[in-house]
Chains A and B, each alone.
Chain A
């Protein structure tokens, strides 16, 4: 079965018509990551920045065989996700062939692994003619890969408990469209082995510090104010410096200020970061240009650009 190439404008998670495939976009690090009170207890959580620059496509073809075979064969988390999905659906088919095509760079904070897993789950759901609510997809994704981002929610702004696969808080609407100037933050550009990182240990003051950030983020989403969102992203990047250091972060924040960016956003487990700009502002194009020049002067030459709307 061939993946249809002609549906770029469809919502991220809509199955492509007439195929048994799915497509899940990458993300680009996190706007906010930390520990949050949900009224009862503390939960680790994050708010993802969607990135339509890359995606994973998955196709699932039921066969008579037991179990799932994946191609390429090393994407074993996707196999596990497909099998967990079949199990959750009550084994409508005994197994099948899962084909993944992804152009998402690995180990850098683009969420390649979550995209694979989420696409695999969606592909199985589509191929078997069934449906699963996003919450169920998220749960399966976490079971398949220990920690998972909220890719299943697309552009919807949710505070997501990435180790439990549940939404801590739905911020009520989609993120406002953003223009992002992305860049690599390590000299080698080879990424970080995210699964080797221990979960950050936050002090009790740091745990409290996530409250004003979340308060400001709620307002940013509600008022669709990219500048407020940028403040939150910068604050989260600074607070998490102690846990995964982004080289030259202070210089990068100066670049953001000098070039009129809304803020700096980083991968809290990865080696990419981005300067955020409001997509709707006519001045953004010039500002992105100038910011790129300033980053080059810091020695940051590996840059890319995307709009969260795709």
Chain B
């Protein structure tokens, strides 16, 4: 139904994605800042359960957009927020967090096991003791994170109808697991494609430093239910960055590199399955990446400006094998240890 009422906040106004058809069987759900949705929903539910009051300090570890989403929601609610991040927090994001009244703590050194992620969680444990009245949203394990995506599934069902394939980058598991489980209620045969990056351990790669951020993880988040994924792709920085530029250059969609990775995989999948209706989740806009992904000099400096790009993914037999660039495997809704236990 058409509504002309003004929104009650910027969160309400912008939390849903814009749905755009960019191919005969390909739609994208382009978010301004996707993480607003789980941040808002997690805090609303916590308040309902009595775990979050006006005086409660919110604590979370994040180096990315979940921290920004929380900062906006906490500012509007009036809750204090401390974010524990690592040096990957870029100066622009840090300034935005500060201006929203968020305290930002940086862990300078990675933990020997579990990297920055572990170091951040250790610092979080200390902060918990310092703030007796605290709430930790815990986007990696909180079931309210995936549950927040019901509204996206509602919007997709109403606007597009049955969907055959959902493609999304995997970091916490919230958006892909949440959206797909809601869509499968009415589209039970939905094919879920998770997009990860080489060196992320979510789908079984050995942990190593990654250039492409915003997807992947050094820990396996509890919210990633591996048995929900039909197919997994690993997209490296070269393909992701160039796809991001193509998404802008061709479709005028100014999005971040995580969106580029999802767009790359979704376009390929839509080409291979011309009769299937495909939707890609694009989690954030391009402004944060103007000086990086959108800057030729920056790309040249890391040797990615003229890097050779794979036109299609390489099939891999095992998720732990050494990956060159863009790779894929049929995950077939298996659990992680079903695959990791079975090295070739």
Chain A interface residues toward B at CB < 8 A: 169, 204-205, 208-209, 211-216, 218-219, 223, 225, 228, 231-232, 235, 238-239
Segment at the interface with A among B78-86, B87-95, B150-158, B269-277: B150-158
Instruction: List 11 A-B residue pairs with CB atoms under 8 Å apart, sorted by A's residue number.
Output: A169-B1, A211-B153, A211-B154, A212-B185, A213-B186, A218-B158, A219-B159, A219-B161, A223-B161, A235-B185, A235-B186
Could you list 13 further interchain pairs (A-B, Cβ under 8 angstroms) beyond the known A169-B1, A208-B147, A209-B150? A204-B144, A212-B157, A215-B153, A215-B155, A215-B156, A215-B158, A216-B186, A219-B159, A223-B161, A228-B162, A228-B186, A231-B187, A239-B185
| Given known contacts A218-B158, A219-B157, A235-B185, A211 and B45 CB-to-CB distance under 8 angstroms | no
Contact of B157 among A169, A204, A215 (CB under 8 A): A215
Contact of B186 among A223, A225, A231 (CB under 8 A): A231
CB–CB A212/B45 < 8 A: no
B143 within 8 A of A: yes
CB–CB B161/A211 < 8 A: no
Which 4 A-B pairs have CB atoms at the shortest separation, nearest pair first? A208-B150, A215-B154, A215-B157, A215-B158
Contact of A228 among B153, B154, B159, B161 (CB under 8 A): B161
In angstroms, Cα B186 to Cα A204, docked, is 18
| Given known contacts A169-B1, A205-B143, A212 and B161 CB-to-CB distance under 8 angstroms | no
- Chain B residues whose C-beta falls within 8 Å of the C-beta of A215 in the assembled complex: 153-158
| Given known contacts A205-B147, A208-B147, A232 and B186 CB-to-CB distance under 8 angstroms | yes
Q: Give the residue name and chain of the B residue nearest to A236 (CB).
A: B185
Residue of A211, A212, A215 with most chain B CB atoms under a 10 A cut-off: A212
- Chain A residues whose C-beta falls within 8 Å of the C-beta of B153 in the assembled complex: 211-212, 215
Q: Give the residue name and chain of the A residue nearest to B5 (CB).
A: A39
In angstroms, Cα B187 to Cα A225, docked, is 15
- Chain B residues whose C-beta falls within 8 Å of the C-beta of A204 in the assembled complex: 45, 144, 147
Residue of A169, A205, A239 with most chain B CB atoms under a 10 A cut-off: A205
Q: Give the residue name and chain of the B residue nearest to A232 (CB).
A: B186
B182 within 8 A of A: yes
Question: Number of residues in B with C-beta < 8 Å to the partner?
Answer: 21
- Chain A residues whose C-beta falls within 8 Å of the C-beta of B150 in the assembled complex: 208-209, 211-212
In angstroms, Cα B144 to Cα A208, docked, is 10
- Chain A residues whose C-beta falls within 8 Å of the C-beta of B187 in the assembled complex: 231
> Within B248-279, which residues are at the interface with A (CB < 8 Å)?
none
CB–CB B162/A209 < 8 A: no
B36 within 8 A of A: no
- Chain B residues whose C-beta falls within 8 Å of the C-beta of A235 in the assembled complex: 185-186
In angstroms, Cα B155 to Cα A205, docked, is 17
In angstroms, Cα B144 to Cα A232, docked, is 23
CB–CB B182/A216 < 8 A: no
In angstroms, Cα B157 to Cα A219, docked, is 7
Q: Give the residue name and chain of the B residue nearest to A209 (CB).
A: B185
A-B pair count, CB < 8 Å, reads 58
- Chain A residues whose C-beta falls within 8 Å of the C-beta of B162 in the assembled complex: 228, 231
B175 to chain A, nearest CB (A): 14
User: At the interface, is chain A mostly helix, strand, loop or mixed?
Assistant: helix
B59 within 8 A of A: no
- Chain A residues whose C-beta falls within 8 Å of the C-beta of B151 in the assembled complex: 211
B20 to chain A, nearest CB (A): 18
B202 within 8 A of A: no
CB–CB B147/A212 < 8 A: no
A209 to chain B, nearest CB (A): 6
- Chain B residues whose C-beta falls within 8 Å of the C-beta of A231 in the assembled complex: 162, 186-187
- Chain A residues whose C-beta falls within 8 Å of the C-beta of B143 in the assembled complex: 205
How does the 8 Å CB contact mask read for B143-174 relative to A, with 1 for contact and 0 for none? 11001001101111111011000000000000
In angstroms, Cα B147 to Cα A219, docked, is 22
B60 to chain A, nearest CB (A): 20
Residue of A213, A215, A225 with most chain B CB atoms under a 10 A cut-off: A215
In angstroms, Cα B1 to Cα A45, docked, is 18
B183 within 8 A of A: yes
- Chain B residues whose C-beta falls within 8 Å of the C-beta of A232 in the assembled complex: 186
CB–CB B154/A212 < 8 A: yes
CB–CB B183/A212 < 8 A: yes
B223 to chain A, nearest CB (A): 13
Q: Give the residue name and chain of the A residue nearest to B155 (CB).
A: A215
CB–CB A216/B157 < 8 A: yes
- Chain A residues whose C-beta falls within 8 Å of the C-beta of B186 in the assembled complex: 212-213, 216, 228, 231-232, 235
Residue of A205, A211, A213, A235 with most chain B CB atoms under a 10 A cut-off: A211
In angstroms, Cα B144 to Cα A309, docked, is 42
In angstroms, Cα B161 to Cα A205, docked, is 21
- Chain B residues whose C-beta falls within 8 Å of the C-beta of A219 in the assembled complex: 157-159, 161
- Chain B residues whose C-beta falls within 8 Å of the C-beta of A225 in the assembled complex: 161
- Chain B residues whose C-beta falls within 8 Å of the C-beta of A211 in the assembled complex: 150-151, 153-154, 182
- Chain A residues whose C-beta falls within 8 Å of the C-beta of B45 in the assembled complex: 204
A90 to chain B, nearest CB (A): 35
Contact of A214 among B144, B147, B154, B161 (CB under 8 A): B154
How does the 8 Å CB contact mask read for B127-150 relative to A, with 1 for contact and 0 for none? 000000000000000011001001
- Chain B residues whose C-beta falls within 8 Å of the C-beta of A223 in the assembled complex: 161
- Chain A residues whose C-beta falls within 8 Å of the C-beta of B144 in the assembled complex: 204
A239 to chain B, nearest CB (A): 7
Residue of B147, B151, B158, B187 with most chain A CB atoms under a 10 A cut-off: B158
In angstroms, Cα B163 to Cα A215, docked, is 13
Q: Give the residue name and chain of the A residue nearest to B179 (CB).
A: A212
A109 to chain B, nearest CB (A): 22
Q: Give the residue name and chain of the B residue nearest to A231 (CB).
A: B186
In angstroms, Cα B147 to Cα A266, docked, is 26
Q: Give the residue name and chain of the A residue nearest to B161 (CB).
A: A219
Q: Give the residue name and chain of the B residue nearest to A170 (CB).
A: B1
B17 to chain A, nearest CB (A): 14
